């Protein structure tokens, strides 16, 4: 059996259609707006989070056959299997990927549960088999990355840029060794310069890695 291919989509400025406008749809819409998508919602009725949001274009009517073809991505969040199936079929014909909430048979992609800390994102997926397990694992990961990981990411990105400038590439040995050498503990202790010295040393940007550790 084939495995789904995980990918982060750049939806900034791209049109996305959401069919349905209840609480589940509102959560999907919120995530799409955070990604910069231009969101259109079609549903006869809508919760205030959708109907009163100036960033959402809401048409108070049922989905019309074939209209998905004008969009880059489709999401259905209805309790009507026939509507979900119609949108999925339109997606197949138009080459538009469709996610159908709690209806894996009408999905051409599934949405992972995502833990976030700044630009750090950790996605958990069960390929649509158990959203509850995905959410449970996400909460555990959120607790783990709550302290220090976003600052660690900032430091890694900064030194990666330095490595590319100085060495011509950031694809070099030393990243794992540095991360295993107490970088997160140093960052959590507020010792950013010690963490930077340790990282630069492991990457060959300094002569020797720092021996300082978090106290």
CATH number at residue 84: 3.40.50.720
Residue 7 falls within a domain, yes or no?
Answer: no
- Asked if 16 contacts 37 with a C-beta cutoff of 8 angstroms, the reply is yes
Q: Which positions ≥6 away from 119 have C-beta within 8 Å?
A: 150, 153
Q: For the chain, give the mean pLDDT.
A: 92
Burial class (CB in 10 A: 0-12, 13-18, 19+), 20: buried
Same domain, 32 and 119: no
Give the range of the structural domain holding residue 181, as residue numbers without chain letter: 149-202
Would you say residue 194 has pLDDT above 60? yes
pLDDT level of residue 1 (50, 70, 90 thresholds): low
Query: Are residues 105 and 126 both part of a single domain?
Result: no
Token couple for 190: 């507020």
* CA dist list (Å): 166 to 163, 195, 207: 5, 19, 14
32 and 89 both lie in a single domain: yes
**114 strand-pairing partners:** 123
Q: Which of 116, 195, 185 is nearest to 150 (CA)?
A: 116
Q: Is the pLDDT of residue 214 over 80?
A: no
d(CA 75, CA 48): 19
Does residue 155 sit within a domain? yes
What's the total number of domains in the chain? Answer: 3
Question: What is the model's pTM?
Answer: 0.78
């Amino acid at each position: 059996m084939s495995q789904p291919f995980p990918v982060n989509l750049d939806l900034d400025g791209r049109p996305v259609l959401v069919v349905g406008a209840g609480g589940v749809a509102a959560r999907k819409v919120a995530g799409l707006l955070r990604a910069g998508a231009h969101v259109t919602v079609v549903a006869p009725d809508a919760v205030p989070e959708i109907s009163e949001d100036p960033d959402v274009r809401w048409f108070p009517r049922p989905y019309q056959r074939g209209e998905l073809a004008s969009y880059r991505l489709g999401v259905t969040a209805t309790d009507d299997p026939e509507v979900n199936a119609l949108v999925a079929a339109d997606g197949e014909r138009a080459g538009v990927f469709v996610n159908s909430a709690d209806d894996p048979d009408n999905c051409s992609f599934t949405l992972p549960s995502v833990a976030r800390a700044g630009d750090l994102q950790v996605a958990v997926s069960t390929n649509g088999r158990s959203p509850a397990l995905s959410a449970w694992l996400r909460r555990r990961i959120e607790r783990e990355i709550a302290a220090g990981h976003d600052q660690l990411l900032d430091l890694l990105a900064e030194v990666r840029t330095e490595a590319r400038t100085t060495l011509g590439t950031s694809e070099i040995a030393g990243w794992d060794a540095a991360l295993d050498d107490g970088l997160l503990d140093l960052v959590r202790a507020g010792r950013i310069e010690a963490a930077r010295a340790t990282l630069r040393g492991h990457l060959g940007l300094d002569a020797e890695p720092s021996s300082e550790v978090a106290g």
